[in-house]
Structure 1
């Protein structure tokens, strides 16, 4: 990933939190700010995914289901956009809400990493 200073990343993530309350981006930004090395956070998340357990708020079904319900409209919008881009339906594995909560958290993190100037 590109070297962008932690200070710059923290400032950009805080701006996201302040300007987009209750969005998927705020969930990712808040989680990223809980880590000392933000670049490593994005790198680890995009390499290992939520299934690795690194996102403490998205480990248990009860939590992923709440996350899905809270962000349902954004998740559906992102899922539709993704499916349109790849030209086929997303293959849902196992629990729908859990799968889509993880998928959308990871996809949002990927898009944010690009916007923040991190090479992914």
Structure 2
């Protein structure tokens, strides 16, 4: 599929996933900011949400709210990632960024990390649908 605004909107319309719809909205909202549309994806996937490139996921209050809103889908993404990688603990997957004293992500720090993970993985999954991004994600 070609990376066009109409096709991003089509992905949004055709999904049952609230998280995918939210991330599609991010792409749609940034569409006019980029002359090379693939950079909407590659900027986030190269630098990560931690860089501040996703303005709505900078502050803990925003990332915690995002995590709580999409917790079920983010947890499913985490489970899938663990199965794919063979790493069966978040601390193995996230390394020293994961607060091992909060294994169930009850506190802000790990919820923040999972919000970023959920956004980035969902953006990556959307990107896989577009042929222009095949060599970039």
List runs of 5+ in structure 2 lacking aligned partners. 100-108
Please give the alpha-carbon distance, in whole angstroms, between the structure 2 residues aligned to 1:112 and 1:22: 12
List runs of 5+ in structure 1 lacking aligned partners. none
Q: Tell me the residue number matched to 2:11.
A: 16
Q: Tell me the residue number matched to 1:108.
A: 122
Deviates more, 1:63-72 or 1:10-19: 10-19
- Assess, with a 3 A threshold, how the Cα gap between structure 1 residues 79 and 33 changes in structure 2: closer, same or farther: same
1:13-37 C-alpha deviation (Å, 9 max, x unpaired): 1123333366211121111112223
Compare CA radii of gyration and give the structure with the larger one.
Answer: 2
Q: What is the root-mean-square deviation of aligned Cα atoms in Å?
A: 1.7
Q: Tell me the residue number matched to 1:73.
A: 72
Please give the alpha-carbon distance, in whole angstroms, between the structure 2 residues aligned to 1:102 and 1:73: 14
1:29-69 C-alpha deviation (Å, 9 max, x unpaired): 11111222331110111110101111111111011111111
Please give the alpha-carbon distance, in whole angstroms, between the structure 2 residues aligned to 1:55 and 1:22: 20
TM-score, structure 1 length as denominator? 0.85
**SS, match of residue 128 in structure 2:** helix
Number of aligned residue pairs: give it. 114
